[in-house]
A and B are shown apart, each in its own frame.
Chain A
Amino acid sequence: MRMDRVWTIARKDIASARKHRYVLYGLIGIPLIFAVLIPLSMLYPVLLGEQITENDLPSFAVPGLEPKQAMALGLVQMSVLMFMLLPAIIPSVISSYTFVGEKVNRQLEPLLATPTTDAELLVGKLMGAFVPAMLSTLISFAGFVVIVDALTFPLFGRLLLPDWISLVVLLVFCPLVGLAATSFCVVISAKVSDVRAAMQLGALSVLPPMGFYFLFTAGIVRLNWLSIVIFGALLACLSVGLLALGRARFGREEILVRWR
């Protein structure tokens, strides 16, 4: 695979996506909400509020700590898990334009006529959605860490983030979710002929991280090595499966003849 061709395609998709208003809002607005609004709205009331008793603690509170600390740490972990939604949402917004948009506007044919292999085209297109999504997630997470640490340092006397859970979420789960979301977009591109419909269907990519998030908030799953490994394995299987499905549907012939 010639990486220069792959990056050329990815860079073009990024440049193209940046010119779309909604994509730009998605790339800036959503990460900003995750970095600033979520930690402030979740932690601030707890930290400023009255004393919490053991009986007030929700199921996701971390055991073995003072009630207020347990509540705060539980909320931080919950917010960290929410970061998996970012690489699910952003690629679906970008891919809706770069896959379905290009298909609808018949921009794929000249691209398919170039001397690039199907694999280079697919990886280039995937990277074009994946890279901005991951960059946004990383930048947003950095802001989130600063705000969370600034808010919680007086309560804990130490920096809560980054911890091993957040690093696993950020460096393993988020890329896997991003890969699954972009691959899923390739799969639906073959069937959908409308950018908005693609975005709506692409939003289904949030289901796996949302599922894990709700299992955690409901207290059914605790954040420990076992749950992390199981979820990671399921996510990896899903990502690889969707990638294989996307690869099978992403061939010149397939796109020109069968994509509707």
Chain B
Amino acid sequence: MLDLALLDFLFTSKVQVLEMTQPAIETRALTRKFGNTVAVRDLSLRVRRGEVFALLGPNGAGKTTTVRMLSCLIRPSAGTALVAGNDIIQDALKIREVVGLLPENPGLYPELSAYYTLDFYAKLYGVPASERKRRIRDLLELLGIWERRNEPVGRFSRGMQQKVAIARALVHDPEVLFLDEPTASLAPESAKVVREFIRKLRRKGRTILLCTHNLHEAEQLCDRVAILKTSLLTVGSPTELEREFGTQRVEIQLKRITARILQAVRRIGGVRKVKRGKRTLTVEVDDSSEVNPRIASAIVKAGGKIVWMKQASSLEEAYLKVVEST
């Protein structure tokens, strides 16, 4: 006899597995034209659930257009996409319920208070009255603006306004978050706070699609990046792109550089080139995650004392190589 409870369990489990494995965002040949100009051409990519994914590209590469299509603000000219399992053409309203958007410009109402602003958007997102207060308080406290909640946001600094805009994008606890240049035009300390907040969201497993010009930021925050210039040029983790298109370099400062140390480093497999400075060695390697520990070990064995050792960023190099090759 068929066990209905077992069937139900199996079915539910299968649905759950599907939900877990289904990407948060999947675009299929997504294209958008404005008149004769193609802003985005045949974009196909998958963003996994819980992933922080960056769209990199020069101005006019189609990053904002892509975000606008995915948040159902504009329709694609061709192709389609699924966001949180919903079709951007068929289920636009449903998608808007489950995504949060931080546009390039915060677009706040300067005359209204931070609390009123969040309350207004929470109502439009259909957050139940019983949850609204708590959620707004949690967000404002987390971002350190609860004490100033009743002040018009026009009196806030640019960094604080950006925090309110981020809180607005999160007020309905969205599954997917689109952040368009979240730290652009922010002072370094404000940018740092925003980046830290994005890290917190990442730890909580939120899916984030980030548009940025800041390669260092992309490298620090993102699991994977896509380089876009109307069409998708490449996609991968920052390390993968560095490995494929850039040069991986490690900089090591030593108390003293001896010939023995130099020789030991040069002998390590995977070391391409060693450049000697006064007290610094710059070493080009094939795969830093594999070779760096061996370099450290060889230096110590050769009697060297390491002051510091840091991986030099080469995503920028990889990015420029990819963009300029088109």
Give min CB distance, A126 to chain B, whole Å: 16
Give min CB distance, A252 to chain B, whole Å: 5
Q: Which of B94, B101, B110, B116 contacts A113 (CB 8 A)?
A: B101
Residues from chain A with a CB closer than 8 A to the CB of B213 are none
> Is B245 an interface residue when CB atoms closer than 8 A count as contact?
no
Q: Select from chain A the residue with minimum beta-carbon distance to B34.
A: A257
CA distance A109 to B165 in the complex (A): 12
> Is B63 an interface residue when CB atoms closer than 8 A count as contact?
no
Contact A110 B126, beta carbon cutoff 8 Å: no
Contact A109 B103, beta carbon cutoff 8 Å: yes
Residues from chain A with a CB closer than 8 A to the CB of B121 are 110, 114
Name which of B22-30, B68-76, B219-227, B294-302 contacts chain A.
B68-76
CA distance A8 to B152 in the complex (A): 19
Contact A19 B124, beta carbon cutoff 8 Å: no
Residues from chain B with a CB closer than 8 A to the CB of A59 are none
> Is A200 an interface residue when CB atoms closer than 8 A count as contact?
no
Q: Select from chain A the residue with minimum beta-carbon distance to B100.
A: A113
Interface size on A, residues (CB 8 A): 26
> Is A20 an interface residue when CB atoms closer than 8 A count as contact?
yes
Contact A16 B71, beta carbon cutoff 8 Å: no
Q: Select from chain B the residue with minimum beta-carbon distance to A108.
A: B107
Best-buried of A19, A106, A112, A113 by chain B (most CB within 10 Å): A113
Contact B125 A16, beta carbon cutoff 8 Å: no
Contact with A along B218-259 (1 / 0, CB 8 A): 000000000000000000000000000000000000000000
Residues from chain A with a CB closer than 8 A to the CB of B94 are 115
Known contacts A110-B101, A113-B71, A115-B97; A19 and B123 CB within 8 A of each other: no
Q: Which of B111, B116, B169 contacts A20 (CB 8 A)?
A: B111
CA distance A16 to B108 in the complex (A): 11
Residues from chain A with a CB closer than 8 A to the CB of B73 are 109, 112-113, 252-253, 256
Contact B97 A16, beta carbon cutoff 8 Å: no
CA distance A109 to B105 in the complex (A): 9
Contact B165 A110, beta carbon cutoff 8 Å: yes
Residues from chain A with a CB closer than 8 A to the CB of B168 are 110
CA distance A15 to B107 in the complex (A): 17
Contact B93 A117, beta carbon cutoff 8 Å: yes
Contact with B along A90-109 (1 / 0, CB 8 A): 00000000000000011111
Residues from chain B with a CB closer than 8 A to the CB of A15 are 112, 116
Report which B residues bind A (CB closer than 8 A).
34, 68, 71-75, 93-94, 96-97, 99, 101, 103, 105, 107-112, 116, 120-121, 123-126, 152, 165, 168-169
- List 12 A-B residue pairs with CB atoms under 8 Å apart, sorted by A's residue number: A8-B124, A12-B120, A19-B152, A105-B107, A107-B107, A107-B108, A110-B107, A114-B121, A115-B93, A115-B96, A116-B124, A256-B68
A107-B108, A256-B68 given. 16 additional CB < 8 A pairs? A4-B123, A16-B111, A20-B111, A105-B107, A105-B110, A106-B107, A107-B109, A109-B105, A111-B107, A111-B124, A113-B73, A115-B124, A116-B96, A116-B124, A253-B73, A253-B75
